[in-house]
Amino acid sequence: MWDYSDKVKEHFFSPRNAGAVTGANAVGEVGSLSCGDALRLTLRVDPETQIIKDAGFQTFGCGSAIASSSALTEIIKGMTLDQALTVSNQDIADFLDGLPPEKMHCSVMGREALQAAVANYRGEVWKDDHAEGALVCKCFAVDAVMIEETIRANALSTVEDVTNYTKAGGGCSACHEGVEEILTRVLKEQGRVFDPTGAAPVLAKGKKLSNLQRIRRIEGAIEAIRPNLQRDRGDVELVEVDGKNVYVNMTGACVGCQMASTTLDGIQQRIVEDLGEFVRVLPASAMQHRV
């Protein structure tokens, strides 16, 4: 069962402003029977001050649709039309101490009814700007159509992009598979291939080093090992850092020493520990072999 807040329950069991307002001069109707949700919002607006004097709702829908409608009317009464237009669906949800993720679309319907009513009052035609598709992201109530259109409009290519533009996927991440499917399909139409590795993985504890910091750390690790080698009259110097490969030059007694590979292992271990990431320490002579 839904985890409704007490406020939602209260507005469902004792809704405020239910029914049509008498003498209404603004009406907004959104939703449809086939969606299982429909809301008619009626307002009485003072033509002088543009203040909403009274608001009433008639809702066909679930518990949270009714509670959202009730909340909406409470929020906007006494506001000017322009103020009312700034009310977002999140404001409605917040007013109710939150809605379950799957029910966020109920608050969206409230906001749309409001926009429709204001348009009606001003003699404009309100256009429902989104056809509703299957709900993909439950955490943020984002549907497939919305995701698809946003991908097209902004040439998005990763799940991260979609999250940044639509919020979808920014919560529990259970919908990432669905978002990936839409990305794969849309990109394919454009002759592109969805690359799931597009976004670089982040290291734990936010320990992402800049290139310079990284090289400093590697140098530091090598400096710390040199005294040991020098005691055996060998030495080591850093030659090049190329991604995950660290090339070093072994000098002095280390050259041709049978222990050289053990020493490289030791250096590698030390650098990995200091750096907290995976690198491979290789002799500089290996550089020419690489493609």
Active-site positions read 35, 106
Q: Residue 154 interacts with ligand FES (CB under 6 A)?
A: no
Structure tokens at 209: 């080093």
Q: Residue 268 interacts with another protein (CB under 8 A)?
A: yes
User: How remote is the C-alpha of 120 from its chain's centroid?
Assistant: 34
204 binds, among ligand FES, another protein, none (CB under 5 to 8 A by kind): another protein
Structure tokens at 193: 């291939």
**Could you tell me the smallest distance in angstroms from the CB atom of residue 64 to ligand FES?**
17
Strands 234-242 and 142-143, sheet pairing: unpaired
- Residue 39's φ and ψ, nearest 5 degrees, are -140, 130
Among 15, 31, 56, 169, interactor with ligand FES by CB under 6 A = 169
CA atoms of 131 and 225, how far apart (whole Å) = 65
In three-state secondary structure terms, 161 is: helix
Q: Residue 167 interacts with another protein (CB under 8 A)?
A: no
Structure tokens at 215: 């090289």
> Do residues 105 and 134 touch, judged by C-beta distance below 8 A?
no
Structure tokens at 43: 């307002």
Q: Residue 105 interacts with ligand FES (CB under 6 A)?
A: no
Q: Residue 183 interacts with ligand FES (CB under 6 A)?
A: no
Q: Which is nearer to ligand FES, 32 or 173 (CB)?
A: 173
CA atoms of 43 and 66, how far apart (whole Å) = 17
Q: Residue 269 interacts with another protein (CB under 8 A)?
A: yes
| Interacting residues with another protein between 203 and 262 (CB under 8 A) | 203-205, 244
23 binds, among another protein, ligand FES, none (CB under 5 to 8 A by kind): none
270 binds, among another protein, ligand FES, none (CB under 5 to 8 A by kind): none
Q: Residue 175 interacts with ligand FES (CB under 6 A)?
A: yes
Report the 10 Å Cβ neighbour count for 3.
Answer: 10
DSSP 51: B
Q: Residue 224 interacts with ligand FES (CB under 6 A)?
A: no
Q: Which stretch binds another protein (CB under 8 A): 41-49, 53-61, 113-121, 174-182?
A: 174-182
DSSP 217: H
Helix (H) or strand (E) holding 105: helix 104-121
CA atoms of 244 and 275, how far apart (whole Å) = 11
CA atoms of 62 and 141, how far apart (whole Å) = 16
> Do residues 26 and 4 touch, judged by C-beta distance below 8 A?
no
Among 138, 142, 150, 161, interactor with another protein by CB under 8 A = 138
**Could you tell me the smallest distance in angstroms from the CB atom of residue 170 to ligand FES?**
6
196 binds, among another protein, ligand FES, none (CB under 5 to 8 A by kind): another protein
Q: Which is nearer to ligand FES, 38 or 156 (CB)?
A: 156
The CA distances from residue 87 to 44, 73, 77, 107, 245, in Å, are 18, 11, 12, 11, 54
**Could you tell me the smallest distance in angstroms from the CB atom of residue 140 to ligand FES?**
6
Q: Residue 13 interacts with another protein (CB under 8 A)?
A: no
Residues that bind another protein (CB under 8 A): 1-3, 138, 171-174, 176-177, 180, 196-197, 201, 203-205, 244, 265, 268-269, 272, 276-278, 280
Residues that bind ligand FES (CB under 6 A): 137-139, 168-175
